[in-house]
Homo-oligomer: A and B are copies of this chain.
Amino acid sequence: MIEDKNPQRTPLSDLGEFKLIEHLTKHFKVSQKSTVKSIGDDAAVLSFKKKQVVVSTDLLVEGVHFDLSYVPLKHLGYKALIVNLSDVYAMNATATQVTVSIAVSNRFPLEALEELYAGITTAAKLYNVDVVGGDTTSSTSGLIISVTAIGEVDEDKVVLRSGAKPNDLLVVTGDLGGAYMGLQILEREKEVFKVNPNNQPDLSMYTYIVERQLKPEARKDIVELLNELNVKPTSMIDVSDGLSSEVIHLCKQSKVGVDIYEDKIPLDPQVISTCEEFNIDSTTIALNGGEDYELLMTISQEDFPKIKGNPNLTIIGYMTDEDRGMHLVTRAEEKIPIIAKGWNALKDQS
């Protein structure tokens, strides 16, 4: 795909490491007050004064986390940032800086890296974070992207995974399962393409879910909304591995149980129809799908009036005493134990 789109191919060896970094990072602008010194020294220098600093890091590996046969590099750069920013927002913090390191084999021309960095630049601008450092090196095989995201938060506003209490409401943003179903569509089209390369896929029925997979967004808006509503969640996590995996984290770290109501789980109509098409249960997908980058939080009952009816926040259950366990209450009012079947990067790959 890279070859088709970029008739111009400048070998990376034409530039060398320093010139490559200079070339790729020249468009990055500093917008955060806390950035004292950005790219160009041994380390970036940041200043947070009284705020606390949150740090999160993720590694994206070609063939494990992404497949370049259907992921455009620009989208990949964008998504690499989103995945990390999402972790910062899950702390109820404001993302301020990122570092981006890439290892890349010589099969990538400069133009491909420019695409990747265009996506990084777009996300950095939209989410108002400064790219303050990174490393660019070669790889013997595929593309590897490592992003570290940094954020700031007032000491009394940090939200951990461990603060949920029995009777707290379980609240999720947006809708679930879309990113996973988008991946199923892309995988299917890839197989079709292999058989008949002239076949032009019609993805118009799946725009929402394909976009959820290829160009997810992080819920910066929710941190701002919670602040406006004057609501501090008692615990929070981002939904990267699927609802069941994340709620188990909250329960275990908070030492509580949970009842999730199947009929309350927010699903986009496209997720429902695509699940029907693939003949799979949409609740299973919402529970185990992953990569939605929504926020899952617990909110004290007394804050209920503040969030009631807000279209961004769906109450899907409530926390219980730990010994009550973790359950899904089905439409048939059966109670099924929740177990983590989330995406396991180490088990699925070889």
| A residues apposed to B, CB below 8 Å | 12-13, 15-17, 20, 36-37, 40-50, 52-59, 61-65, 86-88, 90-91, 93, 97, 99, 101-103, 105-106, 132-142, 144, 146, 148-151, 153, 155, 158, 160-162, 236-238, 253, 344-350
Cα distance A58–B158 in the bound complex, in angstroms? 28
Shortest CB–CB separation between residue A22 and chain B, in angstroms?
A: 11
Shortest CB–CB separation between residue A49 and chain B, in angstroms?
A: 7
Shortest CB–CB separation between residue A21 and chain B, in angstroms?
A: 10
Is A55's CB under 8 angstroms from B42's CB? no
Is B140's CB under 8 angstroms from A61's CB? yes
Query: Of all chain B residues, which has the CB nearest A136?
Result: B346
Q: Knowing A237-B42, A345-B17 are in contact, say whether A137-B64 is a contact too (CB < 8 A).
A: yes
Q: Copies of this chain, how many? A: 2
Q: Knowing A52-B46, A155-B47 are in contact, say whether A57-B99 is a contact too (CB < 8 A).
A: yes
Tell me which of B50, B53, B237, B346 contacts A17 (CB under 8 A): B346
Query: Of all chain B residues, which has the CB nearest A49?
Result: B50
Is A346's CB under 8 angstroms from B137's CB? yes
Is A137's CB under 8 angstroms from B61's CB? yes
Is A17's CB under 8 angstroms from B344's CB? yes
Is B59's CB under 8 angstroms from A151's CB? no
Is A55's CB under 8 angstroms from B97's CB? yes
Which 7 pairs across A and B sit closest by C-beta, in order of nearness?
A: A43-B56, A146-B146, A42-B90, A63-B140, A43-B54, A138-B349, A42-B87
Cα distance A50–B47 in the bound complex, in angstroms? 8
Query: Of all chain B residues, which has the CB nearest A53?
Result: B46
Cα distance A228–B162 in the bound complex, in angstroms? 43
Is B59's CB under 8 angstroms from A54's CB? no
The interface residues of chain B lying within 8 Å CB-to-CB of A346 are 12-13, 15-17, 20, 106, 136-138
Cα distance A52–B87 in the bound complex, in angstroms? 23
Shortest CB–CB separation between residue A293 and chain B, in angstroms?
A: 11
Query: Of all chain B residues, which has the CB nearest A140?
Result: B63
Is B37's CB under 8 angstroms from A347's CB? no
Query: Of all chain B residues, which has the CB nearest A54?
Result: B43
